[in-house]
Amino acid sequence: MRSAPTILHLDMDAFYASAEQAAKPSLRGKAVVVGGLGPRGVVATASYEARRFGVHSAMPTGQARRLAPNAAYLVPRFGLYREISEQVMGLLRELSPLVEPLSLDEAFVDLEAGGVADDAESARAVGERLRADIREVTGLSGSVGLAVSKMLAKIASEEAKPDGLKLIAPGTERALLGPMPVRTLPGVGPATGDHLRRAGILTVAEIAEAGEDELVRLLGKAHGGSLYAMALAHDERPVVAERESKSVSVEDTYDVDIHDRVRVRAEVARLAERCVQRLRAAGHSGRTIVLKVRRFDFSTLTRSETLRGPTDDPGVVREAAARLLEAVDTTGGVRLLGVGVTGLADYTQEDLFAQAQAEAQAGAEEESPDGVDEVGPGEAGRPEGPERESAEEAVAPAERRWAAGHDVRHAEYGHGWVQGSGLGRVTVRFETPLSAPGRVRTFRTDDPELEPAEPLPLVAAPPSPTSA
């Protein structure tokens, strides 16, 4: 283990909710909850104002509404979050070639490998400068932890929240960890925590006192041994640069089980189209098509088909997914569907020809709706509204849907966002990230002057240099 606290852990503060507050002046300082809004919706992120009411991520949205009925409940905008994440990760890669992203809003950085820090003083200076740069570029705050290992750096960033920096000085680790609950250590979930509690082990210090032999007896050789080492503040895991994706997939969870086989087929076709969009955006093709079906009784089936060569042809992926579906019984109802591609490769010349041919034939066909697709934590962040068109909409025309929190533009009133919709009406608040809190107006859901819009930048662009 290194002797200087040069492992940095960055964790953006209440990322999705903070991004929404930055984008919507009327929500700043207010309780905001981002996640699925249907009966099966789950909270993806809650603002710190909402957390005061007991709302937290992975909580059912219905429970959150009971705890914080006056909070703003918004559908995720993953396109915006990915854009901000790319800006943040870019700042991290300026510090070191060893950046290990854990999610859109969290990453480890090896500062020593980047030659920017070799002791506590220089590491702290880098951390403070990083936090300032993130705020300048994105308008958001992040918390930074610095320590000699990944485990300790992550614990430090959690201690620093919100909007802070904590450095764990070498030699103080055992004293810091000792009184903390066992769940603080990586790999200690509810089941392991309960097992340790029944053995009378509640704190990290008590893990260390129990000894390695007792931990191995309770948890097995691998888990018990690693947990004992971490209780002694030993963590040799290196920061590993971002690995290439091994698969690309999309999935949707439905508020109401789908029983109609025609609708199930339409959903699978739509998911295949969206999967190919992500595949192409990543510059990949793949050989194996995977279908995932979670049925009404929560049983999950996975079927796959391997092609003769890699492809990114939407027609090929769509047809393969349809063939896989024919082997699955869905008569009892379906609550989740997913389509994925594995066995990834870079583009081949054949892929490019297939893409050109598909685009040439697409003119006479009805295109599937484009959708922002990103699977959030668990089933927490399922896009809804325009991004998650239901199977019924794919079969027949339906009333326009407006997702709460998503951007719109009105021909007369300009840019705004959807506060809510229902009964043929949609309520819009007209404001931008750089404006004062705006006014609210209500329109028919089919108002021809109202249309979806792209998110606006959260911070003002720097002034361009003027020529002499």
Closest C-alpha to 31, from 58, 59, 67: 67
CA dihedral sign of residues 421, 423, 425, 429: negative
Burial, 7: exposed, middle or buried (Cβ in 10 Å; 0-12, 13-18, 19+)?
Answer: buried
Locus of tokens 């606290």: 5
- Which CA distances in Å does 302 have to 81, 187, 283, 333? 30, 27, 25, 16
Distance (Å, rounded) from C-alpha 285 to C-alpha 275? Answer: 11
Cα angle 159-161-163, degrees, rounded to a multiple of 5: 135
Closest C-alpha to 113, from 238, 242, 243, 244: 238
Three-state secondary-structure class, residue 331: coil
Phi, psi angles (nearest 5°) of residue 109:
-135, 135
Residues shown for the chain: 468
CA dihedral sign of residues 260, 266, 272, 275: negative
- Single out the catalytic residue among 20, 49, 100, 106: 106
Tell me whether residue 106 is one of the annotated catalytic residues: yes
Residue 27 DSSP class = G
Check if the beta carbon of residue 148 is closer than 8 Å to that of residue 111. no
- What's the gap between Cα 317 and its chain centre? 25
- For the sheet containing 334-346, what is the strand order? 247-258, 334-346, 284-295, 300-311
Cα angle 150-154-156, degrees, rounded to a multiple of 5: 115
Positions annotated as catalytic residues are 106
